[in-house]
A = this chain, B = another copy of it.
Amino acid sequence: MTASRGRPRDAGADVAILRAGLELFIERGVEGTSMEQIARKAGVGKPTIYRRWATKEELISAAMETLVVAETGWASPEAIATESPYELVEAAIEGAAVATTTPQYRALVARVFGSAVSHPELMATYWRRYILPRRRLAAALLERARELGTVAADANPDVAIDMMVGAVTYRVLQPDPPDVDEMRRYLREVYRQVGLLPD
């Protein structure tokens, strides 16, 4: 982040503003959110916000940059290079089932997808910050599974990743979204169909 113009920055206020922006975005979408609402929710004046961000889009993008967790929470590159893909995937299922069935996850995915055409800069930030680090790990895992022969040698990994992630994000936005138990079974079936879990 660059230095602020004018008065020295109040880091506490910045975080409160970014949190308020992200929460309002998730709750009401870009179109339903205003700088005025963000200021009220964060308990600051509008000028404080405008000193740092010129538009709500910039602010929401900065909020995703700062607050959306980059930590993937599953396998490290080292583990992928040495351990069994089946075991790594099996070990990741519980965390993934819990994470993808929270109301917050569903709501954030809906809003990011929902603004992908009207506000592509928000999807671009989310993509770079949240999705790409996970895709890199998934690509390494698929490559390893390919070497071991459980994933077809000619399978396009980008498409395979889209099929896994696309299925899960699509599923959580469908009517009658899954609970954790159902999501566990769902993830197992997705990974199995791709070749990342045994038949």
| Interface residue ranges, A against B (CB under 8 Å) | 27-32, 103, 106-107, 110-111, 113-118, 120, 123-124, 127, 152, 154-156, 159-160, 162-171, 173-175, 186, 189-190, 193-194, 199
Indicate which residue in B27, B111, B152, B193 contacts A114 across the interface (CB closer than 8 Å).
B111
Return chain B residues, CB-CB under 8 Å to A175: 120, 123-124, 127
A117 lies within 8 A of B113 (CB)? no
Give me 16 other A-B pairs in contact (C-beta within 8 A), A156-B189, A193-B194 excluded.
A28-B31, A28-B118, A29-B114, A31-B32, A32-B32, A107-B118, A110-B116, A111-B114, A127-B174, A155-B193, A162-B167, A162-B171, A162-B190, A163-B164, A163-B190, A166-B167
Indicate which residue in B107, B154, B166, B189 contacts A166 across the interface (CB closer than 8 Å).
B166
B173 lies within 8 A of A170 (CB)? no
Measured between alpha carbons, how far is A1 from B32 in the docked complex, in Å? 30
Chain B residue nearest to A123 in the complex (CB): B175
B193 lies within 8 A of A160 (CB)? yes
Measured between alpha carbons, how far is A118 from B170 in the docked complex, in Å? 15
A92 → chain B closest CB, angstroms: 18
Measured between alpha carbons, how far is A199 from B25 in the docked complex, in Å? 44
Return chain B residues, CB-CB under 8 Å to A115: 29, 110, 114
A95 → chain B closest CB, angstroms: 20
A105 → chain B closest CB, angstroms: 10
Most buried by B among A32, A155, A159, A165: A159
A71 → chain B closest CB, angstroms: 22
Return chain B residues, CB-CB under 8 Å to A156: 189, 193
Return chain B residues, CB-CB under 8 Å to A124: 175
Return chain B residues, CB-CB under 8 Å to A199: 152, 154
Return chain B residues, CB-CB under 8 Å to A32: 29-32
Most buried by B among A30, A111, A165, A166: A166
